[in-house]
């Protein structure tokens, strides 16, 4: 087993040995840990790998951020899959200046910082010097989904974190994450997570209590 120093620092661990015996659910939000387990299962079956996939993560301040993820199966001397390897890294400053990302880099930063406020994407596009049509197209080219979906994913991910770490009601979380009301939050949350906010919180708490 090998983990980077930045991984240890991110999870407030001092030594690699401290992670022995832990699962993904012990070191990551439940929503993310479930995805990691699914990824590992596909990697170990030899059916999948990913290179530079864009995913949502949380920085050290707890703010949602976007990172590049690469995962590959590890093989022994006989070619048998015996483990997995993964790298998670933030987009470097020079990468955000690449043609594919430069035109939407400012939009990403605006959405990442102001997701809890009533954001008008047309205004974001204007600040980037783009028409709404070109803004939509370039965002799709850069990330594989629309700016509307980017905003919604960011809000839902922030809602997940609050469901896991606070006792705030779903209605209170909805307001803090930029949704108009609890119903809107529940609808968007269910569409992306597959559970209602209430069921998700109960699932997380049950898992936590089992350790």
* Model confidence pLDDT, tens digit, residues 101-147: 666 778 888 998 899 999 999 999 999 899 999 999 988 877 778 99
In the sheet that 81-90 helps form, which strands lie side by side, from edge to edge?
Answer: 50-58, 64-75, 81-90
* Judgement on whether residues 104 and 203 belong to the same structural domain of the protein: yes
Tell me the residue range of the domain where 152 lies. Answer: 95-209
Highest mean pLDDT among 28-32, 132-136, 192-196: 132-136
Residues 6+ away with beta carbon under 8 Å from 205: none
Q: Of 69, 90, 111, which marks where a domain is finished?
A: 90
Of 90, 122, 144, the residue that ends a domain is 90
- Between these two residues, 41 and 34, which has the higher pLDDT value? 41
What is the model's pLDDT at position 60? 57
- pLDDT value at position 208? 62
Q: How many angstroms separate the CA atoms of 195 and 199, rounded?
A: 6
pLDDT at 109: 84
Confidence of residue 7 (pLDDT cuts 50, 70, 90): confident
**Shared domain check, 100 and 200:** yes
For residue 90, is pLDDT > 70? Answer: yes
């Amino acid at each position: 087993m090998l983990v980077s120093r930045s991984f240890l620092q991110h999870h407030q661990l001092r030594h690699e040995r401290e992670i022995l015996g832990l699962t993904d659910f012990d070191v990551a939000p439940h929503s993310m840990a479930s995805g990691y387990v699914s990824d590992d299962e596909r990697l170990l079956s030899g059916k999948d790998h990913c290179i530079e996939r864009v995913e949502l993560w949380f920085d050290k301040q707890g703010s949602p951020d976007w990172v590049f993820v690469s995962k590959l199966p590890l093989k022994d001397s006989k070619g048998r899959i015996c483990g997995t390897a993964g790298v998670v890294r933030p987009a470097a400053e020079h990468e955000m200046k690449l043609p594919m990302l430069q035109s939407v880099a400012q939009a990403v930063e605006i959405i990442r910082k102001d997701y809890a406020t009533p954001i008008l994407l047309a205004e974001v596009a204007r600040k980037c010097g783009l028409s709404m049509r070109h803004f939509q197209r370039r965002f799709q080219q850069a990330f594989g989904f629309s700016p509307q979906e980017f905003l919604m994913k960011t809000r839902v991910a922030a809602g997940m974190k609050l469901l896991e770490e606070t006792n705030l009601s779903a209605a209170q979380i909805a307001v803090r994450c930029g949704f108009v009301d609890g119903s809107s939050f529940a609808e968007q949350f269910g569409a992306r997570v597959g559970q209602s906010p209430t069921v998700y919180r109960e699932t997380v708490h049950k898992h936590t209590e089992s350790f």
